[in-house]
């Protein structure tokens, strides 16, 4: 199934790094469910 991307995601979490936060190559578009799932996985690893 293809759904509309509604959120911008940092591919590599920036975690305070200004360089990663504003790096245009470090972002991707995701739908809300995919972004939430990815963020939850990253938060568990932290």
Tens-place pLDDT, residues 13-46: 999 999 999 999 999 999 999 999 999 999 998 7
4-26: burial string, b at 16+ Cβ within 10 Å, e else: eeeeebbeebeeeeeebeeeeeb
Q: What is the pLDDT of residue 36?
A: 97
The alpha carbon of 3 is separated from its chain's Cα centroid by a whole number of angstroms, namely 16
β-strand 27-30 against 7-10: which pairing, if any? antiparallel
């Amino acid at each position: 199934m293809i759904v509309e991307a509604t959120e911008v995601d940092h591919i590599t979490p920036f975690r305070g790094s200004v360089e990663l936060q504003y790096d245009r190559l470090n972002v991707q578009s995701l739908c809300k469910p995919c972004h939430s799932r990815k963020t939850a996985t990253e938060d568990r690893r932290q």
